[in-house]
Chain A
Amino acid sequence: MTLLSVRNLSVAIHEKPIVKDISFNLGAGEILALTGESGSGKSISALALMGLLPLGSKKGGIINFDGNDLNKISENKFCKLRGKKISMVFQEPMTALNPLKNIGRQISETLVQHKACAPHELKNRVRNTMDRVGLSGIDPSRFPHQLSGGQRQRVVIAMAVCLEPSILIADEPTTALDVTTQAKILELLKKFAEQDGISIILITHDLAIVANIANYLILMKEGILVDQGEPKKVFRDLAHPYTKKLFSASSQKLILKENEISKGKLLEVNSVSVNYKSHNRGLFSKGTSIEAVSDVSFDIKRGERLGLVGESGSGKSTLTRTILGLQSTSSGYIEFEGKKISKDNRSFKKNIQVVFQDPYGSFNPRHKVERLIAEPFFALGKEAPHETEQKSIVKEMLEEVGLPLNSTEKYIHEFSGGQRQRIAIARALVIKPKLIIFDEAVSALDLSIRNQILKLISDLTERHGLSYLFISHDLTVIENITEKCLVMKNGKIVEQGQTKQILNDPRNEYTHSLIDAAPKFPEFGHA
């Protein structure tokens, strides 16, 4: 039975077409996946279904739901549908909740708004809904900041399902979460579809998730619907070239050429612990301290490519900051080429560079690319080459990372995410460091772009004999780009060794659960 029928939906924001003429049907209890790379218009399509498009947008076409055209009904009428018949879960659990209201009140708001139950039943209804979404032990009087990301996402889901809507739209509901949490949230959504008959529109860029839980898939590219059908069939036939391209990108394996590995240690981390003082220091009490990194030891030899895997809060970032000398150790030491790294000794800076996750946030938007790439020269001080030579090195680097030479005169906002990451890599390479730290460097990128960047990294290290530490929460990335890896949990290294061996035959239970939780493609019987 068709519950929702979308015909020729189009959306333009400030006259710019974002969604072009898409049509699809949604049946009861079905999970429909809306997928595509960033900028494909999938989130805007969802907002159009909710009638929550940003100011300055225009929509066309017909959205037929329950005998009404949602593109035509009044705002008043739409308010009565939202939350009751059609509800939505958003990507960012950290910001999707009002920080000033406790979660019980935020969940009950949906009930109160639609006058769903008598005031004295409210408490019970909230409790029941919270139990249903897996928040059984959680007190409804808690505030959002007292919950983890996964718990917050469950609260958002509770608000969306407490009135048993016909349709639940989930916009990248797990993208901001750890893999193990992601698996649990997806399980929950699946349960709503199967047991409660709620139809779900799941927006995701992750084809493996689509393959695992969706009944139907719609693939969008630049606002156009390019492919649709049952995931099994779509992924088996790969009829459309764009589907084929995305599919091969997500299952692509990179072959790392062997690097020459020297015997001497480039970086040595020796039983390093880092304690943070918690903020509740009183006037007279010292406050408790939190061990963010606990007795961590490893080393990187010249030419070695090491991965570091862990979920949020595992201490990865603290460890990175410590290696960069931005955070002092509580005990243990870190040596670079036999010399200690500390807050005061910064000469090692010439030989360690870093590439961060968010390439936009890590560049000054008011400087031209030439200056941005040349920035590490300042760290060299007097040893920096002459200005004309710097310019020619910058050009050389642009060529190396595959960007046109006229990029030097542009500003960072003129580039796409992938190009920005290339610029970040050029900046890291410009002073020919011996070690580069990639901190979630490809996590914010679309799959096809991610593969290009990984390929670039692998080519460059081969050409320059570089060593790197690659930090990621994503096991497939680590598998592709490193030979050895460390698995970190709660500040400790729980497993280390050859990447292939760890991924194929994990010894540690935690590593095992990480590998299990990561979404994988089922076999489609490709030749």
Chain B
Amino acid sequence: MVSGITRDWLLSDSPASRSQAAWGRRYRLWLQFRRHGLAMAGLCVIVFVVVVSALAPVLATQNPGAQDLAARLAPPSAAHWLGTDELGRDLFSRLVYGGRITLGMVLAVVVLVAPFGLAVGCVAGYAGGIADKVLMRVTDIFLAFPRLVLALAFVAAMKPGVESAVFAIALTAWPPYARLARAETLTFRNTDFVAAVRLTGASASRIVLRHIAPLCLSSLIVRVTLDMSSIVLTAAGLGFLGMGAQPPSPEWGAMIASARRFLLDEWWVPTIPGLAIFVVSLAFNLLGDGLRDVLDPKQS
């Protein structure tokens, strides 16, 4: 009964407040999104990983750092659900705690990168002229660096670790967002509705912040979601090369790196974190595809 009222309230044709209208719009998008089976699967996986990472202290059967050299490289069993690594640490517990590091890195990169790229792109696109040229050439310079190489150099110059890895990835991840936001801004800049806002006498910053940036947001969200998988991979790559999270922290890429010697005999030790990386990045990709279908204004 309660849910019926809520649904009608959300789908109402004549909402009674701005927030009802906004929630109604979101609910309609959600209804659309729900029809994409694969995207929903991606969302479920990500929610699952987030929940598991958040509850890591509860779910982990053992301390992820606790060594038990007697039981090293053990196959999956009742005591060690996914087996143990070369120092006898419980792989399941390490995997669960590792999710925190990986997701934390992804989140940190996105929080750093998305608003910055959006701001640079919107300002460049709306201001045009010299500001546009300068901002876009800087963007081009960063775009020209190979991501992993720049990240490696950056991390090598600082001290290896999670924070440096996050900064390194952020440094190379923002230019595509700036380009995207600029392209979107250019399409909106000369529309009548922006002209109408200009004719109210609104300042340029108000127009960009309140009218143009919100429109760029949806394609940015799509792009960010699709990019998350590559952030996961870069983070794991840096970990694998020893430039990201440092042992003994259970980062997935570092776990593979330290266990790669055992790939032939005790194959599950490197394979399990590999599978985790694969599943999470695939889930982000599927989610991004679904979001694109729902949010991309060019397709609707």
The judgment on whether A and B are partners is no
Residues of A that sit less than 8 Å from B by CB: none
